[in-house]
Amino acid sequence: MNANANANTTTDANANANAQAGAGVAGAGATTRLQTAMRLSQAQSGRTVEWMTITPELAMGWLEDTNTNNRAVRDIHVRRLAEDMKAGKWRGFNGEAIRFDSEGRLVDGQHRLWACTIAGVPFDTLVVAGVDPEEYATIGTGIRKTFADFLGPMHGEKNANLYAAAVRLVYSWQAGELGANRWDAPSVSVLEQTYHDHPGLRDSVTFAAGHRSLLNQSFVALIHYAATISGKRDRAETFLTRLHDGLGLTDTDPVYHLRKFLAAQHGSRRKAHTGYVLAMAIKAWKAADPGRQIRALRFRADEAFPELEGK
């Protein structure tokens, strides 16, 4: 692998020049110590560690020449990474590396390299060469972080799992994909942007977390949030409270029919698809908001997914 000829690396000269210029003395000192430790490690182990800018051309060259013994490519994951790279949301400064073994074969990073070629933009990363082939089995075996893991420790949010599910629903709602059967979930970067774009969702998550209901709590949060944006928060809270307690319902009330459907679901071994349940909930909410009376609540297979106000 001729990495120096194909990519920009952080050199000792640059680090020393920065240190001598007096800018960020503590940072420069830490950088120098890190580089010294890396050089000592490389001398002892025969491995190399470099900070590099990977261009689409370099990525394709590595994929063609060195990607000979790797796991199958997951196209959905590649597309997700490429979207982040193209949108400028890729974060490559987290210490994860592109890794090659001692025989020059790529053992970690093929999805990032394929994403780079698709996005057509470069990205910065650590590149490690000389990994013992026997260590391949230990690469990528850690537990993958979910978006909820970011909401809790990084943002201090309570009810992180519920909040994460609600953010995914808001993303799908805003993208017009609530009823779509998507296998490729949005990336953490996309979800984090949605989280920042909708700070008012926090109140709806808090309401849902404290509201016991037959309806999925993330669906409660979505309906509550959409209604809040539309200026119908009080009506939505009345709708959701009546759905929970069942008081004063008649057999022509949309809430009655939704509650009957949800109760049957809880006692059934054949559960309806979550998208179907959400569609029924939205249809009931849209019928109950103007106070319509209905004889039945249905969602047909050929019917368009019901729209929520508030976008």
248 vs 69, more confident = 248
Q: What is the pLDDT of residue 75?
A: 87
Q: pTM for the complete prediction?
A: 0.63
Contact 259, 250 (CB under 8 A): no
pLDDT tens by residue, 83-101: 889 888 887 777 789 988 8
Tens digits of per-residue pLDDT, 126-145? 999 888 877 666 665 455 66
Q: What tokens appear for 292 in the block? A: 């319509």
Tokens of 249: 């319902």
**Residues 183-242: pLDDT tens digits?**
567 888 889 889 999 999 999 999 999 988 899 999 999 999 999 999 999 999 999 999
- Residue 118, pLDDT above cutoff 60: yes
Taking 3-state DSSP, the helix, strand and coil percentages for the chain, each rounded to the nearest 5, stand at 55, 10, 40
Mean pLDDT, rounded, for 295-303:
92
Please check whether residue 20 is in contact with residue 62, taking contact to mean a CB–CB distance below 8 angstroms.
Answer: no
Instruction: Report the pLDDT value the prediction gives residue 17, as an integer from 0 to 100.
Output: 38
Greatest alpha-carbon pair distance for the chain in Å reads 81
